[in-house]
């Protein structure tokens, strides 16, 4: 029997997630900003359109989507960045 470990990523405040995305090792930069929407770019990674509302909670599923699917981290790397 195969046991598959699925991690539930925690919800994060938008400010914290933006800090994670724009810091080492991801190094995203804000390419453009219009109102609360920011377009983030980083060499070798997918572009992220981020709706930034400071203290708003970003769901764990969305956090995982940003870090694993778009920023191209594996789950272990993404998990370690937020803990």
pTM above 0.85, yes or no: yes
Q: Please state the separation of Cα 10 from the chain's center in Å.
A: 12
pLDDT greater at residue 74 or residue 3: 74
- As a whole-number percent, the residues of the chain with pLDDT over 70 amount to 93
pLDDT at 12: 97
Strand partners, 32: 39
Q: How far apart are CA 59 and CA 72, in angstroms?
A: 19
pLDDT at 54: 82
Strand partners, 29: 41
The phi and psi torsions of 40 (rounded to 5 degrees) equal -105, 140
Instruction: Indicate whether 4 pLDDT > 80.
Output: no
């Amino acid at each position: 029997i195969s046991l598959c470990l699925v991690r539930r990523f925690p919800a994060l405040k938008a400010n914290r997630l933006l800090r994670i995305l724009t810091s080492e090792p991801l190094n995203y930069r804000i390419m453009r900003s219009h109102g609360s929407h920011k377009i983030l770019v980083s060499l070798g990674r997918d572009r992220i359109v981020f709706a930034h509302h400071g203290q708003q909670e970003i769901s764990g599923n969305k956090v995982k989507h940003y870090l694993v699917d778009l920023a191209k981290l594996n789950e272990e790397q993404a998990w370690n960045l937020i803990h």
